[in-house]
């Protein structure tokens, strides 16, 4: 965790399976934040943050979804957490009931992984209550029946070449002020599918939005903030 410590600089961590040494990693610092995940395939992933690694398909709120039974929570993530969804895993957010109300700073979806945003049948959309960076190399799907994806200033939404976003309904991103709850500027329409190239949506600290990428239908734009009434 952030502020914690483990071992000493230069300590080597190594996976041993059936008496055979596998992947290893050498600590470069003795203090956190830091996460070292020894994955089921024998590989090691390291992060300079407190990171929950989804290794089993399941809900965001279920400890069994994550490596080591470490499900992110407000207490654990008081200093911010990252989320990593590995290949072959589907991470659902249905149990969050439409809102991520603690500090998740990043969500990374690997090639071959799926991130399901929202609650099936719910028309309230999904709200991130702190600035977040969404990095999609796999598939992100919006599964709600209505509402917006609500992001605060300082957030980023990135789809790499080979990644994709889909929704059964046309969905938009709404930027909102964390203090007032009011929407900032116009809605940013995602539609029902983004694929076949890259996509970036970056929200500045003031709420201005810059969009770019090579996916079909994406054009580079920058829109300045203007407060409007609260939305979905």
pTM score, whole prediction: 0.81
- Answer whether 200's CB lies under 8 Å from 218's CB: no
Handedness of CA 38, 39, 45, 51 (dihedral sign): negative
DSSP 8-state secondary structure symbol assigned to residue 151: E
Instruction: Decide: 5 and 33 in contact? Cβ < 8 Å.
Output: no
**Region of poorest pLDDT, from 32-46, 80-94, 111-125, 197-211:** 32-46
- In this prediction, residue 227 has a pLDDT band, given cuts at 50, 70 and 90, of low
For the ranges 52-61, 65-74, 96-105, 107-116, the lowest mean pLDDT is seen at 65-74
């Amino acid at each position: 965790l952030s502020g914690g410590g483990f071992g000493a600089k230069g300590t080597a961590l190594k996976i041993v399976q059936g008496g055979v040494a596998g992947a290893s990693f050498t600590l470069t610092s003795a203090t956190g934040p830091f996460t070292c995940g020894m994955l089921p395939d024998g590989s090691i992933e390291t992060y300079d943050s407190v990171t929950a690694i989804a290794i089993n398909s399941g809900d965001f709120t279920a400890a069994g979804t994550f490596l080591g039974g470490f499900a992110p929570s407000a207490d654990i993530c008081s200093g911010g957490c990252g989320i990593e969804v590995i290949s072959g895993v589907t991470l659902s957010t249905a149990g969050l009931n439409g809102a991520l109300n603690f500090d998740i700073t990043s969500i990374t979806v690997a090639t071959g992984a799926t991130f399901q945003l929202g609650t099936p049948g719910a028309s309230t959309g999904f709200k991130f209550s702190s600035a977040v960076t969404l990095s999609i190399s796999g598939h992100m799907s919006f599964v709600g029946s209505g509402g917006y994806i609500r992001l605060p200033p300082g957030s980023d939404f990135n789809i790499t070449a080979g990644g994709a976003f889909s929704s059964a309904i046309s969905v938009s991103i709404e930027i909102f002020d964390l203090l007032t709850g009011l929407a900032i500027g116009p809605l940013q329409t995602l539609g029902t599918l983004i694929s076949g190239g890259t996509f970036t949506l970056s929200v500045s600290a003031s709420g201005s939005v810059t969009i770019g990428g090579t996916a079909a239908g994406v054009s580079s734009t920058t829109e300045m903030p203007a407060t409007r009434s609260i939305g979905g």
